[in-house]
Amino acid sequence: MAVDSELLEILACPKCKGKLALNSSGDGIICGACRLVYPIKDDIPVMLIDEADTLGPEEPVLQKS
Ligand SMILES: [Zn+2]
**Residue 1 Cα, ligand 1 centroid: separation in angstroms?**
25
pLDDT per residue as tens digits for the range 4-23 = 788 888 999 999 999 999 98
**Residue 17 Cα, ligand 1 centroid: separation in angstroms?**
6
pLDDT per residue as tens digits for the range 28-37 = 999 999 999 9
pTM value? 0.80
**Residue 34 Cα, ligand 1 centroid: separation in angstroms?**
4
Domains of the chain (ranges; CATH) run 5-54 (2.20.25.10)
Is pLDDT above 80 for 65? no
Nearest to 55 by CA among 23, 14, 19: 23
Q: What pLDDT is recorded for position 29?
A: 94
Residue 62 pLDDT class (50, 70, 90 cuts): low
Is pLDDT above 90 for 58? no
Nearest to 37 by CA among 4, 49, 11, 16: 49
**Residue 60 Cα, ligand 1 centroid: separation in angstroms?**
16
